[in-house]
Amino acid sequence: MAKAEFDTPQLKGIPVIPHLQPGAMAHSRPFVAKAEHQEPLGFPGELVDDWKTKAIDKMGELLTKYRALPVFLDACVKCGACTDKCHYYLGTADPKNMPVARQDLLRKVYRRYFTFAGKHFPKLVGAVELSEEVIEDWYRYYHQCSECRRCSVYCPYGIDTAEITMAGREILAHIGIGQKYSNEIIGKVHKIGNNLGLPRPALEDTLEGLEEEVEEDLGVKIRYPVDEKGADVLLVTPSADFFAEPHVDGLIGYGKVFHQAGISWTLSSYASEAANFGIFIGNYENMQKVAMRIRQAALDLGVKRIVVGECGHAWRVAYSFWNTLIGPFDFLDPKYPVPQHVCEFTYDLLQKGALKLDKAANDDKVVTFHDSCNVSRGSRMGDFPGGQFVIPREIIKASCNHYVDMAAETIHENTFCCGGGGGLLTDDLTELRVKGAVPRMEALKRVIDEDGVTHMAAICAICKSQFTKVLPFFGMGMDMIISVHQLVGDALVLGAEH
């Protein structure tokens, strides 16, 4: 049974907008990165002496570099449409977790130093000096935003709080106050190639063990190859897929799909990570450096195409940024989209009749689907609008007989974050993660009670880890959360003619 040093919110069965509790989450702050986690990323090891000047200079640089940032800071009319849209506000009742209030933490400093009115009449426009207190609030509340972008869907001006959070975190890291969890992980990818710091021999052992396990289960030799030059496909997948539950069942599923389709594929030990935490800390250079390993691996292995495994923000980075970040991809086969999501890959095979699925294999399950934020609001799939919503659902429906959607206001572009995205999937933020999961848990509970749902499928490594952790807090089994490609793998008829 999960233990907590806070009260787990009771699920009410209906969405409730909480009464304000100022300061309710003022105690929540993740561990600060040590010098050993800061310096390899190009940030100072500790708070710099002239932090105030450095922070304002950095803000000025970001305002010029990211053209949307000053627009977002200027455009808000305080209409209030976003106030009750953030899962962290709904779960914690802390008013500083309202998106507009979160934005204002940076906006009021921006006004003081970068606008005429703020420089000359600060009180009139709510502008404030940068102070230690302000920096403290930035650190707390920019680490209570999962950069999920739900609030931006409801803002009449499309103001994206995630971009403001990223800028806040970037400034903090630049003056020496980075977040330990994200920066340590990025450092591991730079050094070894994945978030876990899993070196090549350990990766090879893990995959060999997986091959043996699958062969024992099925009596069929399914390969999980690594560093195979000349394979058609390079699969980049979150490293959690190599061993975590339920992630690894997704990896087993991908292998079965490749096997049945007769398409050669490989993982890479150099680029053994699809996740890219560079986006979470808002730092372009680190995001590029992490992504560049994938381009290099594709070139070294001589593949024709790159397929991305089940990982929400990895897909957003790939879909929305790879082209300018690490492109062009003129060395790949132009017949295939770059990048291609593993769901697009499987969907395409299903459309062509290249896979035979026996839905009855999943008859012990009633499945619902959790749309991941970065897939839903930060990217797309397939060649039609809304493909990111349709394609995973079509794959699930092809794999099982019983499928139910959660309430409309909690899925598709309205989806609620799992509560652990954006670099917050760390045990020092457990209270925030549990409380931030409340809106999704409410919606899930409704389909459990009304439709008998037994499992929730997802296509994001962070969502899967987060739900494994928080479901027991709400009296639900951690094994309710499953990989979409687990459903596919379990239903796939191996050896069927096509």
Question: Where do contacts with ligand SF4 occur on this chain (CB under 6 A)?
Answer: 76-82, 85-86, 88, 99-100, 102, 145-151, 155, 157, 159, 161-162, 165, 417
CB nearer ligand SF4, residue 112 or residue 150:
150
Residue 265 has φ and ψ, to the nearest 5°, of -150, 165
CB nearer ligand SF4, residue 156 or residue 327:
156
C-alpha dist (Å) from residue 95 to 38, 147, 191, 205: 31, 17, 40, 49
CB nearer ligand SF4, residue 100 or residue 275:
100
> Minimum distance from CB of 79 to ligand SF4 (Å)?
4
> Minimum distance from CB of 243 to ligand SF4 (Å)?
29
H or E stretch covering 63 = helix 51-65
CB nearer ligand SF4, residue 68 or residue 292:
68
> Minimum distance from CB of 223 to ligand SF4 (Å)?
40
Pairwise CA distance, residues 218 & 203, whole Å: 22
> Minimum distance from CB of 76 to ligand SF4 (Å)?
3
Residues 6+ apart with CB under 8 A from 271: 193, 234, 236, 293, 294, 296, 297, 298
CB nearer ligand SF4, residue 294 or residue 417:
417
> Minimum distance from CB of 89 to ligand SF4 (Å)?
7
Coil, strand or helix at 420: coil
C-alpha dist (Å) from residue 425 to 10, 49, 335, 369, 470: 22, 31, 37, 20, 11
Among candidates 162, 104, 106, which has minimal Cα distance to 377? 162
Q: Identify the sign of the CA torsion 30, 34, 39, 43.
A: positive
CB nearer ligand SF4, residue 148 or residue 317:
148
Among candidates 236, 231, 199, which has minimal Cα distance to 322? 236
Give, as one character, the DSSP assignment of residue 33: P
Coil, strand or helix at 399: helix
CB nearer ligand SF4, residue 86 or residue 298:
86
> Minimum distance from CB of 95 to ligand SF4 (Å)?
12
Pairwise CA distance, residues 277 & 239, whole Å: 13
> Minimum distance from CB of 239 to ligand SF4 (Å)?
25
